[in-house]
Amino acid sequence: MEPYLSIIIPAYNEKANFQKGTLVDMKKLLTKVNFTWEVIVVDDGSTDGSIELLEKFVNSSKGIRLVKNIHTGKAGTVARGVEEAKGEYILFTDFDQATPILEFEKLQPYLETGFDVVIGSREVAGAKREKEPFYRHLMGKGFNFGVKLIAIRGFSDTQCGFKAFKTEIAKKLFKKLQVYRPKKIASAFTGAFDVEILFIAKKMKLKVAEVPIHWKHIETTRVSPLKDSIHMAWDVVKIRIYDLMGRYQ
């Protein structure tokens, strides 16, 4: 029997987060749900020794498997997980569990009542965000303003790493990526692939819901706020350019 939910967790040099027990805690929380699931941890070519820790964890954890990927960045890593998914629905969530896995229960009713894509949001009424530095929040608001101006309107928070899909829809969406088409890269850049996914979803006239969730800021040294923001802004511009070129037809 295929699982109800496939949970995709991209992983890149996550030794510190693993040692905090994020996956162990998630595994415990999943024992409380009333549906079947699989967890697909996709390693993005980690170099910090975390792959050995993940292998040991997965070998002792029923329902959790590890997929090894070349270093393609978050978009390519999630896309690989989508290819591997066997569930009726797909959820991708961050390794650090900034949004606890049980927040899926807030997205679930929308999937079951006809929505194709359901995105967690830190900005809509009812959302709760913790410990986020003011400058990060301000930068996020600025980025979302740029997204609305250049690429796509109708969403308050495109970048929250907690999104769910009907599986057949996710497989179609990720195959249509252009800016973030999976390819080998050298950096840890996360990017704005969420924007491209939502842009394509709108082009396909899919039914998308934005749902408030509980999110906690987890500090990381892999993000360069200024450098990454400039890179992401240019990628959003490229989404619009590619659309004008007809690449999303």
Note the pTM of the prediction, 2 decimals: 0.94
Contact 53, 15 (CB under 8 A): yes
Tokens of residue 212, six digits: 């408030």
Contact 232, 143 (CB under 8 A): yes
- DSSP assignment string, 53-97: HHHHHHHTSTTEEEEEE-S-HHHHHHHHHHHH--SSEEEEE-TT-
The region, left, alpha or beta by phi > 0 then psi within -120 to 50, assigned to residue 205 is left
CATH class of 5-244: alpha beta
Return the pLDDT at 221: 64
- Distance from the Cα of residue 203 to its chain's centroid: 20
> Would you write out the chain's pLDDT as a tens digit for each of its 249 residues?
899 999 999 999 999 999 999 999 999 999 999 999 999 999 999 999 999 999 999 999 999 999 999 999 999 999 999 999 999 999 999 999 999 999 999 999 999 999 999 999 999 999 999 988 888 888 888 888 999 999 999 999 999 999 999 999 999 999 999 999 988 886 767 789 999 999 999 999 999 999 999 999 887 766 666 677 788 999 999 999 999 999 998
- Domain boundaries in the chain? 5-244
